[in-house]
Structure 1
């Protein structure tokens, strides 16, 4: 008979947000299984080591997960806790996503030095963001805006905002909400998805483990949210079918409507001048097919040209 799990070692990045998210998962696991001992193991990833370099120079594929996945394969940790949007479309052999906890809202938010909305930001305002997806979508709405590369932890970005290095930041709502009311109170506007469609997986957490750890799969099944997993599957399958390695900014966000899953997606040129938006729906039991179908249709209707034009 298999020995019950007595301790779970959680691999996490060292940022305040990553540790907060990992602690959130660990606390909920202990609420359901008080006998389980938990340990947080901080792992520095490539993305953390090279904070001063733009994402395009570092190479974004797996930059925040690679070292955690290596620790999983080596048996140094039992599970890795990731922001789902950081996970590449394909996982390394031997690893599996064993749990998707309940998801937060996926929207992006504006944090401005003076309380205002995107619509009333002064002309030529400077927006700090490291995301090509956010830059392109905001440029489509407000071509007068200027953008500066802004990486680092949340407190570092907020300090740069206060110092006047930019007029506003664009961040994910989910992270600020998980950090608590003090951080969430900094938000000056929650951006509608019609303005800035989120990245695939934004707002969701993913628990990754070795595929041969059936004991952990059974343990974390009590935390798994099937609704969140369904929307995430549609978004990730879209990303994979579109071509996860392309540098063209893209967003994808799914929601549930009864027995249906509805997926919205956008592919946009880096300068924001060319934008292709589409939506597709299907039975939630076929969420993966919803994503792949929409990606193929968008590739046929112009997304392929955008990707080939901006490799």
Structure 2
């Protein structure tokens, strides 16, 4: 209701995290060999699931502010069929994109014309730094052609694995697959989270978490700017807790990854966010941990490694 789209309990299927939610959605609307459109770069978990399900990937050029290039997507839809579009609607992983509402409506209209369902991943929507939460796609089209997926994994606790899907007109297909794949989700974690939500503590928790993560991202950005090669570019997300770092062309984040691991430093190299292994000169850093001198030192050492490789 807060985001402009009321649901009844019967509209929602509880899942084992958001990963099961979008896996159920994909299996409900597509068959092996079908093509799924995704933003590029996109979350590597999407790519792994698509691969396991035998689905093809159509990578859409994506702007860090405006989101996917809708005009390019329209031309692609005219040329070849697409079974579904899988997108993160708020602060996408890794780029941090949150499409403006006008662009979201353009995309929904395009998908409706071609009868292509939208699978929406909104796990980061509550982690917004501005006053207002971004509007999800489901609230803009009334759920007419959207399968909405989310979870508490990013906002409360990843270990509980409590997610959900609002599949709309695909409800029966999703329920059939939920029963076949996992029957039901564990009840005790749901009871624990339900008690927490009923206590009214969720809003206060989210206010603290947003302040913490926004400050973490500021610390991380400053550390990158002070330590990495001068030509390095860094995303400026308005929510979430990931930064997309673009190093000079020709840079090899895989080689940097191998060298960093030897020092006990880990990050996600850019090519894992692309089915075609693009973005080799990019990487993703997470600000999900409380900022500390140890993390700052790790970023400085990573920057030193990057400067050496750049030379």
Query: Scaled by the length of structure 2, what TM-score is found?
Result: 0.28
Q: Which has the higher strand share?
A: 1
Query: Scaled by the length of structure 1, what TM-score is found?
Result: 0.28
Q: Which has the higher helix share?
A: 2
